[in-house]
Amino acid sequence: MRRKGLAVIMAVVLAGTMLAGCGSKSAATTAETTAAAAEETTAAETTAAAAEETTAAEETEAEEETTAADAASAEETEIQVFIAASLNTVMTEIAEKYNEAHPEVKITYNADSSGTLLTQIEEGYECDIFFSAAQKQMNQLEEDGLVVEGTRANVLNNQLVVVALKDSDTKVTGLENLGEAESIALAGGSVPAGKYTRDALISLGILEKTDDSASITTQQISEALGGVEISEQDNVSKVLTAVAEGSCEVGTTYYSDTYGYEDDIQVLETVSYDLTGDVIYPIARVVNEEADEAQNAAADDFLAYILSDEAKAIFDSYYFDTDV
């Protein structure tokens, strides 16, 4: 009986031991399986991430190649842009910004008085865009049938100013006592700034009213101012230069022209629009029979850029008023 009972007890103990052993083995197997699955998941995620990075890199490279291909395939061309002299500085930056995206377009400027530019266009000079400092010249160009229909737009407003050298001992404070100057730099009547000066002097009663203020000569102005010496200039930039170099005591120019001369020039008076009217700068595409398709397309695109918000911000920084 004791042997039989002992055998039973040993059998039970043996069975328990075997069960315990089986349980430990099963747990270990489960842990190993879970770890392996986790490693496989991590490896899969890493592979997927790498694939996404590769795809993104390939897409970026493809886009860059496409952009480079587009730039390379863009047809090189040149456009002729006639601009009022007072626009020369700001338009240089406008062209630089435009060429960052369109290096294939060469922009050639012809900067002079709006009257001179009008005459050149009428005489057959090749021109794609005309950017005038006054409506008069643009009106005439439109009457000549040389403005591409639907492209004319008012872009800027400016303001006439009376200037002298900084720290000058001039007695002149503005247009009303302009005659106290020893010498005056003044643009001719065909130059918009010269015409606006004449209009202002008429408004002040210094000059007699006439149907065409541009026809008033510098000699007549000198006499009206008591015989003061007047140096007539053929564009507004030369007026500023004459004052900045000390050739003339005072002059009338545009506010925008004082940009970059802040250390040399002082503004004696900013002339009211009540005396001159608005100083509007219109722009338009010009009929150019010599232009090919690429040139016309570039001219259209550059005109659109000049009218863009990005270009307006540049004009504002150069003291122009874009609220027109």
pLDDT digits (tens, 9 = 90+) for 181-217: 999 999 999 999 999 999 999 999 999 999 999 999 9
Higher pLDDT, 149 or 17: 149
Give the mean pLDDT of the chain. Answer: 86
Mean pLDDT on 211-226: 97
Task: Count the Cβ atoms, other than its own, within 10 Å of residue 141.
Answer: 24
- CA-to-CA dists, residue 3 to 6, 10, 14, 247, angstroms: 5, 10, 16, 137
Q: Is the pLDDT of residue 311 over 80?
A: yes
Instruction: Specify the pLDDT at position 64.
Output: 53
Q: Are 254 and 89 in contact (CB under 8 A)?
A: no
Q: How many helices (H) and strands (E) does the chain have?
A: 10, 10
- CA-to-CA dists, residue 223 to 208, 226, 247, angstroms: 12, 5, 20
Band of residue 74 on the pLDDT scale cut at 50, 70, 90 = confident
Q: Is the pLDDT of residue 91 over 80?
A: yes
- How far apart CA 9 and CA 92 sit, in angstroms, is 106
- How far apart CA 93 and CA 103 sit, in angstroms, is 14
Domains and their CATH numbers in the chain: 73-157+280-317 (3.40.190.10), 160-270 (3.40.190.10)
| Closest C-alpha to 188, from 226, 142, 125, 238 | 238
Q: Is the pLDDT of residue 71 over 90?
A: no
| Closest C-alpha to 158, from 235, 255, 265 | 255
Q: Is the pLDDT of residue 5 over 70?
A: no
Which helix (H) or strand (E) covers residue 92, if one does?
helix 88-101
Instruction: Specify the pLDDT at position 169.
Output: 94
Instruction: Specify the pLDDT at position 65.
Output: 53
